[in-house]
Structure 1
Amino acid sequence: MHINVLVREMPEKLEPVFRETENERWAGVDHGVFLLLKAGITPAYTFGDFDSITEFERRYIKEQLDINPVPKEKDDTDLALCLTDLVAKGYDSIHVYGATGGRMDHTLANVHLLMHEALKKVKIKILDHQNVIRLLPSGNHTVSRQSGMKYVSFVPLNDQTELSLAGFLYDLADEPLEFGTTLTISNEFIEDSGEVATSHDILMIQSKD
């Protein structure tokens, strides 16, 4: 099952995203709930403590939905609660919008959620107008070029990650990558898809200038 998640407003306009995902299910996190309702989309699920909305937005939401805010003081972020709950509900494909930009601690924490033990086996993508971020667990993968994205980078999360690439401008064969390396930044597909084999979990980021 697939679902989209909206966390917060994005620098780019959201209307094209809503058109592309017409008839798909959405979940809203905090301010994302208001943005979805404003766009005429009723979220199937709502999450968050709703500390980032105005009183006007709170009234707007309550006129259309019953929400159950979680306490502001909690151990997990609103997005972490959202994703773990959606996975528990059986969703195995999740696209997250509005999780990047703004505060850097939030952005890094949201990307690190892809490595959460309860989430790493699920196909979760973090998307914005310039990037598509996903985790490739250890093993073999056929990956596809994301429409509109020119570059593809691989960011190791462990020392001595052995990475093999086929179908890219710069292919590799069992290349040992150290944590913090920039060797695998700004590669490119030469076809619509490529083959990736990694000995450890690795981040794949497709992007454009």
Structure 2
Amino acid sequence: MHINVLVRATSTSIENITESPWAGVDHGVYLLLKDGIIPKYTYGDFDSITEKERRFIDETLEINPVESEKDDTDLEIALLDLTERGYTSIDVYGATGGRLDHLLGNTQMLLHEKLTDVKIRIIDMQNVVELLNKGRHEVLKNRDMKYVSFLPMYDRTRLTLEQFKYPLEGTKLSLGSTLTISNEFTGEKGFVETSEPILMIQSID
């Protein structure tokens, strides 16, 4: 099952994404309602919305805010709950703008032991970020995105790339290396084999 999640304002147009249900996280709930989309699930402490926005939400649907002081972020709570509900594919919008700690935390969260078997993509107008687990993968080129980069999450990751402009064969990657930045597909798909989980980022220049 697939679901879309909106966290906060995003430059990506979401109005035409109607083939799957939506979940809203905090301010994302208000933004969905404002666009005429009723979220199937809502999450968050709603500390990032105004009183006027809160009244607008309350007039449309019932929400159950969590406590502001908590160990997990609102997005982590949402992803874990959606995973428990059986969703195996989740596209997250509005998770890359704003604070850098949130951006880095959201990408590292893809390594959460309860999320690694779920296909989660973090999407904005310029990038699509997803985690490739250990093993061999057939990956598809995203439309209009010229570049593809691979960022190791573990030191000494061995990476093989086939059907890319710059192929690799069991190349050992060190943390901090930029060797695998700005590669390109040679066709509509490629093959990636990695010895450890690795981030794949497709981007528009």
Indicate the SS of the match to 2:36.
coil
Say what the alpha-carbon RMSD is for the aligned residues: 0.7
Query: Once the 2 structures are TM-superposed, how far is the Cα of residue 129 of structure 1 from its aligned partner?
Result: 0.3
Unmatched segments (≥5 aa) in structure 1: none
Alignment correspondent of 1:64:
60
Equivalent of 2:188 in 192, 195, 200: 192
Distance in 2 separating the partners of 1:160 and 1:31: 39
Alignment correspondent of 1:140:
136
Map 1:61-140; keep pairs closer than 5 Å: 61-140=57-136
Q: 1:64 to 1:135 in 2, by over 3 A?
A: same
Query: Once the 2 structures are TM-superposed, how far is the Cα of residue 148 of structure 1 from its aligned partner?
Result: 1.3
Distance in 1 separating the partners of 2:98 and 2:45: 18
Alignment correspondent of 1:55:
51
Distance in 1 separating the partners of 2:65 and 2:121: 25
Map 1:2-41; keep pairs closer than 5 Å: 2-10=2-10, 12=11, 14=12, 16-19=13-16, 21-41=17-37
Query: Once the 2 structures are TM-superposed, how far is the Cα of residue 179 of structure 1 from its aligned partner?
Result: 1.2
Report Cα offsets for 1:17-49 as digits up to 9, x if no partner: 321x22420000000000000000000000000
Q: Which amino acid aligns with 1:205?
A: I
Report Cα offsets for 1:55-81 as digits up to 9, x if no partner: 000000000111000000000000000
Q: Which amino acid aligns with 2:6?
A: L
How many residues are paired up? 205
Structure 1 vs Structure 2: percent identity of aligned residues?
59
Alignment correspondent of 2:149:
153
Residue 174 of structure 1 pairs with residue 170 of structure 2: yes
Distance in 2 separating the partners of 1:77 and 1:105: 11
Residue 204 of structure 1 pairs with residue 171 of structure 2: no
Distance in 1 separating the partners of 2:84 and 2:20: 19
Query: Once the 2 structures are TM-superposed, how far is the Cα of residue 159 of structure 1 from its aligned partner?
Result: 1.1
TM score, norm. by length of structure 2: 0.98
TM score, norm. by length of structure 1: 0.97
Distance in 1 separating the partners of 2:103 and 2:74: 13
Q: Which amino acid aligns with 2:159?
A: L
Report Cα offsets for 1:151-188 as digits up to 9, x if no partner: 00000011110000000000000000011110000000
